[in-house]
Structure 1
Amino acid sequence: MTPQLPLALRPAPDFRFETFVGAPEVPARLRAMAAGEPGFVLLSGPEGSGKTHLAIATAQAAAAAGLAVQYVPLVRLQGRVEQGLAGLDRLGLAVLDGLDAVLGARADEVALFDFHNRCQAAGCAVLYVARQTPAGLAVDLPDLRSRLGQCIQLTLPRSDDALRTAILQRKAQDRGWVLDEAAVGYLLRRVGRDMASLVALLEQLDRVSLAEQRRVTVPLIRAFLQQAGDGGEATGAP
């Protein structure tokens, strides 16, 4: 079976194990899964902790290793999980991101339960990705809760400012430039602490920096935010 690559939600080069910052034991376990280790894993963590980064990294590493794999953003399958997962138990690995989005709907939960059982029988590994551990998930179907509770549990911590700084500086470094702490501090104060928003802004700043042949410093960030229409006073503290 030909490996199936995921539809990337953001530029794929960013979603690699090598570019993930924090909780080194988690990527280590997922690398083994991407190399073909069987089983079921539930990766959980709060918003902005890097769950989707690791989910796509796992799928891409598995595909590179020749494993038949599919990355599935479950938010797109609300109300039709059964159809969306049909046949995926024949893969080597299924990565189901956004588990929370389809819980609470009985038909979708039954479909997930059946899918889990088919994968177990067929030897297809499954990586579930959710905001909560099984104890905190809003699962109505007891059998599904039991199956999720039997998965290997990997948990990512909530990002603090030190981790946000390390992530942003690493992403800047991967693009070939330096983001100093003054610039990071300005971003956190003026833009906020949502990592998805910060990373998206970093990509825009990268393009502006290349176009204008200027380093990404506080003056450049301030000018960019003002030009974008928010006057540098987005969602963060003053």
Structure 2
Amino acid sequence: MTQPGARAAGQLPLALRYPPDQRFEGFVAAPSGALAQIEALASGEAGDWLYLVGAPGSGKTHLALAACAAAESRGRRSAYLPLAATAGRMREALEALHDNPFIALDGLDLVAGRREDEVALFDFHNRARDAGTAVMYAARATPDALPLKLPDLRSRLSQCTRIALSPLDDDGRREVLSLRARSRGLAIDAAAIDWLLRRVDRDLSSLAKLLDQLDHASLAEQRRITVPFLRQILGGEAGQGAQ
């Protein structure tokens, strides 16, 4: 799913900015105490800034969006910014977020090595601290492992409380698909979920998009999602992902 930029996000209703699938209750296998830490920061009950670190598919974006939704549910304005979308305008994008009590910045690894962006992020970090803003970062690597050009930025990021996330195994993916299907009111057999995990891309983002496709097809044909139905709908698409 493509996330909106900072300016567009401010004009979108909560339901569009923070999709229903991206909520704390739909997150599987979180480290002990992690969800409570994130929710406390988002709601204003705790002040320790957080740094989520994990490989692709470990749920960093899910938790960043869930935190923003939690903040909004408590009446606190929030902003989610995927840093990949800010190339060439990092300073402008960050300055536009100044009036949000909670901010989640996703994809720090995409900033590392670009000195102008690092300087903009360093300045943002200091301003946000002075203003009492709550900030959560997300990246694929720890601050020490990022190829940052600014030692002071690395130092600031290292002061955040770190939460390490791990990619889900097949049992975790199976649970996520079941949860998301139930949230849609979608009837899908356990055997159908196993069939999907054996034959299609196991990346959660790809699986979520596929679930949307199957949801529409199921509604159109008024059928449960079973293995024969998957064979009919996916046809040659299956088998292209991980085996």
The two structures have a TM-score, normalised by structure 2, of: 0.88
1:53 pairs, out of 62, 65, 69, with 62
CA contact (8 A) 2:41 2:49 kept: no
Report the counterpart of residue 12 of structure 1 in structure 2. Answer: 19
Secondary structure of the equivalent of 2:177?
helix
Report the counterpart of residue 234 of structure 1 in structure 2. Answer: 240
| Distance 1:11-1:110 versus aligned 2 partners, 3 A rule | closer
Give the length in aligned residue pairs: 232
How many angstroms does 1:11 deviate by?
6.9
User: What is the CA–CA distance in structure 2 between the aligned matches of 1:101 and 1:208, rounded to whole Å?
Assistant: 36
User: What is the CA–CA distance in structure 2 between the aligned matches of 1:75 and 1:81, rounded to whole Å?
Assistant: 9
2:121 pairs, out of 109, 112, 125, with 112
How many angstroms does 1:154 deviate by?
0.9
Structure 1 vs Structure 2: percent identity of aligned residues?
Answer: 48
Report the counterpart of residue 132 of structure 2 in structure 1. Answer: 123
Secondary structure of the equivalent of 2:214?
helix
CA contact (8 A) 1:5 1:70 kept: no
The two structures have a TM-score, normalised by structure 1, of: 0.90
Q: Which deviates further from its counterpart, 87-96 or 4-13?
A: 4-13
Secondary structure of the equivalent of 1:135?
helix
User: What is the CA–CA distance in structure 2 between the aligned matches of 1:123 and 1:111, rounded to whole Å?
Assistant: 18
Report the counterpart of residue 222 of structure 1 in structure 2. Answer: 231
Residue deviations 1:65-110 (CA, integer Å, cap 9, x gap): 1112211111111232111111534431111111111211000001
2:47 pairs, out of 38, 41, 44, with 38
User: What is the CA–CA distance in structure 1 between the aligned matches of 2:149 and 2:193, rounded to whole Å?
Assistant: 42
| Distance 1:20-1:186 versus aligned 2 partners, 3 A rule | same
Secondary structure of the equivalent of 1:169?
helix
In the alignment, does 2:222 pair up with 1:213?
Answer: yes
Report the counterpart of residue 143 of structure 1 in structure 2. Answer: 152
CA contact (8 A) 2:51 2:162 kept: yes
CA contact (8 A) 1:168 1:184 kept: yes
In the alignment, does 2:76 pair up with 1:29?
Answer: no
Q: Give structure 1 stretches of 5+ with no counterpart.
A: none
User: What is the CA–CA distance in structure 2 between the aligned matches of 1:4 and 1:27, rounded to whole Å?
Assistant: 25
Q: Give structure 2 stretches of 5+ with no counterpart.
A: 1-8
